[in-house]
Structures are given as C-alpha cells and as structure tokens.
C-alpha cells in the first residue's frame, strides 16, 4: 500500500541550532590549539543570554565569550530588535574540568588501546533514493532552508527574512518504497514586522516562498527528483500567521535537541546521543560517523539498496560490544544480514582510536556540521584560521565530512564478490 513519509529540518538561526554551532565552535577552538583536548560543551540560549556548561580537559585556554559572540553574529543575530544579539547578549561560562573517573577509561598506555568514552549504541544509515544516499524528504528539507538562508543574506530578492526557520517535506511512496511525488511542503520563516496588514504580509511571504525559493531548490536537484514536484503540492507557509518573534527570544535553545534533523530525519534509527560539542573520544559522535561511512559505502558498492548499521560500546572498553546490519530486504548478495555484519566488522575497524584516525576526527572540523545535517554533506578540504589572545594564530588545512567519502567501495566489492 502506498504511504506518506515526512522529515523536517531547521535553519542555522533556530535556537537549538545556535546552541549546537556555539558548542562546536568551542570544540574546534580547543582542538585547533590542542588536538588531544577532551571536550563536552553544552550551550543554552534564551532572551539576551548564553549559558555555556560542560567538561573540558585541555592544555589550552580559549576565549569562550568571544567565540560565542562571533558565532551568533555570523548567523545573523546582529540587531537589538531581535532581543538576542552577538554584540549585546550576556555570556556566562560554567565549564569545568572533565571527571578523572571518565578519563581513566579513555586514556590508556597507547592510543590504539583507547576505550570508548561512553556506553551506548550508534546508528548509520544509507539509501539509494537520493544522490547523496540520504532520505529524500530530509535532503529536500535541508535544501529549502539552506537556500532560504542564502536569500536572507543576499537580500536581493527577499529582504524581510530573519534567521529562525523550519521546513518539512512529506513524500508519497509506492508499494515498493519508491518516491512517487511530493505531497506537502511546510515552511515557517521568521520575518520583519510588516505593520498592521497581517493578511498582506502572509500573502507576500507565501508568494515569495512558492515563486522564488522553491524553484531555486528544484533547479539544484536531478531531473528524476525534479519530476516529484507537481502542481498538487499542498503548501503550508507560516501557517500560524505572523512570525516576528523568534530565535532565542521566542524559544529557548539547547545543544543536542535536534538529533533527528542532524541524522536521517526519522528514517533508519537513532541511538539517542547528540553530536555537537563532543570531541571524537565520545563514541556518540565518532561511531555514528563511522556507521554512516560504512552504510554509505556498502550501498554505493551495491551490497543493498538500503542499509542500517548499528554499533555499540561499553565505556572504557576498546572493542565494540556488537555490530548489527539490517538491509530491509533489499540485499543484493547471497548472505544473511548477520553474515553481512561479520564482513562489516572485518572491513571497518570500529575501535575508538581507529575511527578517529581513519576519519581524521582530531581536527577542528565540527562547526560546519552543526547546521543542515551532519550526514549527506559534501566532503571537501578547506583552510581554517583560529586566533586567540592566549595562543596566537593557527592556520589549518582540514578535511570536512570525511565520513561521507566513498573511499571503501573497491574493498567492499572485493569482500562481497561484486
């Protein structure tokens, strides 16, 4: 029977995403000046206030307030009228040193013996339904908000947008799980006050989203995905009406509260652990990246059309406690899912340090992941510059989104005789 599936995304100006970006900016600065830093930073944002908390073990010192303000300004919160501005908000730091009880389970005699920074299970997922092996509804939701942010910052075609926004896409699937059409698109975007004409304001926003934003998003997609757009799409644009009060003034934001947006939009599964603000010794983050790397390379190599990989750990223990694979009946090889999992264990070393080393996770690469999803992004190399009144200036060439690289396809094909 045909069915509908929905995913949502949120913009870089959403309160929870502001918190995520601040947490990851702090992490990047610690790693830039001390790659062995152990960091777990949490951020809370509300009207005119930023509160930083968490645990850090590092040889360096960074200007936490300055970094938080820079992030807020770069997102676009630069006006007092937003009731939250990088130049005027208060920034309170409650960060303290990491517990020695936790650290003793992580640091060992050699890096290879490094134990997992926590217990738990992490998931990676991949599907052939989009070019980047991501669930399509989430991919389109991310694209809508990235394009909306571009329009906001350019101010050439739409000049009234504010930073806070959400998007949601519903897709109809056929009996055999193939996307057939886009059923519904929801966009809620913060905007300047238009004055007393609420109806005229809403009509203009609806027209601009449907006539300017959506065509730009559609034009970036492959033809087979463009064909899913149709004249019968139901649009809900700012369905509550006015959306002037937003950002941290409208809703408190917290690090780690958008874990489904960060991963697969409700497809596959999620172990429950957040990513932002955590250094790679925390397997909540590093093992989730490693599981995505494995799942994506398996699907790209043709092992199955859809794959979920689960890996689990005990705190302080080097080897994973389990690896599980589900191909949802789409396997293209004459092996059970359990047998596929055994080969995954052989192909992908899931020990914590091996993951860090393979995916180059001890580099300052995390702020770029903190909005518009950690998965499905394009791997690339960039130069990042970090300046500190305490540590001077550091310039680093880093690789972003290494877990998205299709660098294991040949090894997978060989192992599965494809």
Q: Compute the distance between CA of residue 285 and CA of residue 239 in angstroms, rounded to an integer.
A: 35
304 in a labelled binding site: no
137 in a labelled binding site: no
The count of other CB atoms within 10 Å of the CB of residue 242 is 14
Q: Which residue carries 């109809």 as its tokens?
A: 172
Radius of gyration of the chain (CA): 22
226 in a labelled binding site: no
290 in a labelled binding site: no
Strands (E), 128-249: 161-173, 179-191, 234-237
- Tell how far CA 243 is from the center of its chain: 25
282 in a labelled binding site: yes
Q: Helix 283-301 and helix 337-347: axis angle, to 10°?
A: 110
166 in a labelled binding site: yes
- Tell how far CA 333 is from the center of its chain: 31
243 in a labelled binding site: yes
Q: Which residues pair with 35 in a beta bridge?
A: none
274 in a labelled binding site: yes
407 in a labelled binding site: no
Q: Compute the distance between CA of residue 378 and CA of residue 311 in angstroms, rounded to an integer.
A: 24
242 in a labelled binding site: yes
413 in a labelled binding site: no
24 in a labelled binding site: no
Q: Compute the distance between CA of residue 15 and CA of residue 224 in angstroms, rounded to an integer.
A: 34
Q: Compute the distance between CA of residue 16 and CA of residue 13 in angstroms, rounded to an integer.
A: 8
165 in a labelled binding site: yes
337 in a labelled binding site: no
Closest-CA residue to 344 (of 282, 272, 296): 296
Binding site feature residues for Mg(2+): 16
Binding site feature residues for K(+): 42
Binding site feature residues for L-methionine: 55, 98, 251, 282
Binding site feature residues: 14, 16, 42, 55, 98, 164-166, 242-243, 251, 257-258, 274, 278, 282
Binding site feature residues for ATP: 14, 164-166, 242-243, 251, 257-258, 274, 278
């Amino acid at each position: 029977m045909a069915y509908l599936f929905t995913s949502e995304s949120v913009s870089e100006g959403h309160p929870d995403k502001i918190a995520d970006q601040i947490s990851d900016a702090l992490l990047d600065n610690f790693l830039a000046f001390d790659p062995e830093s152990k960091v777990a930073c949490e951020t809370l944002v509300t009207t005119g206030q930023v509160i930083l908390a968490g645990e850090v073990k590092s040889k360096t010192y960074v200007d936490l307030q300055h970094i938080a303000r820079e992030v807020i300004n770069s997102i676009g919160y630069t006006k007092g009228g937003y009731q939250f501005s990088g130049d005027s908000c208060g920034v309170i730091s409650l960060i303290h040193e990491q517990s020695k009880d936790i650290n003793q389970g992580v640091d060992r005699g050699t890096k290879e013996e490094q134990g997992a920074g926590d217990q738990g299970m992490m998931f990676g997922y991949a599907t052939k339904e989009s070019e980047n092996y991501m669930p399509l509804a989430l991919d389109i939701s991310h694209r809508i908000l990235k394009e909306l942010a571009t329009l906001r910052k350019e101010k050439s075609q739409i000049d009234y947008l504010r930073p806070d926004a959400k998007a949601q896409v519903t897709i109809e699937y056929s009996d055999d799980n193939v996307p057939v059409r886009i059923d519904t698109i929801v966009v809620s975007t913060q905007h300047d006050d238009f004055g007393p004409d609420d109806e005229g304001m809403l009509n203009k926003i609806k027209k601009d989203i449907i006539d300017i934003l959506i065509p730009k998003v559609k034009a970036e997609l492959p033809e087979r995905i463009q064909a899913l757009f149709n004249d019968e799409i139901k649009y809900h644009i700012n369905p509550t009406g006015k959306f002037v009060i937003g950002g941290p003034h409208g809703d408190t934001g917290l690090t780690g509260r958008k874990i489904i947006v960060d991963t697969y939009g409700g497809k596959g599964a999620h172990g429950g652990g957040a990513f932002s603000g955590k250094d790679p010794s925390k397997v909540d983050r590093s093992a989730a990246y490693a599981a995505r790397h494995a799942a994506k390379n398996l699907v790209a190599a043709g092992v199955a059309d859809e794959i979920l990989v689960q890996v689990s750990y005990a705190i302080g223990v080097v080897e994973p406690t389990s690896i599980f694979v589900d191909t949802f009946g789409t396997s293209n090889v004459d092996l059970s899912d359990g047998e596929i999992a055994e080969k995954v264990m052989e192909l992908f070393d899931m020990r914590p340090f091996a993951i860090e080393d393979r995916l180059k996770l001890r580099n300052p690469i995390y702020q770029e992941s903190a909005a518009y999803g950690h998965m499905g992004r394009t791997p690339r190399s960039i130069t990042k510059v970090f300046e500190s009144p305490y540590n001077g200036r550091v310039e680093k060439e880093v690789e972003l989104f290494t877990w998205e690289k299709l660098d294991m396809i040949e090894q997978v094909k060989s192992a599965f005789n494809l």
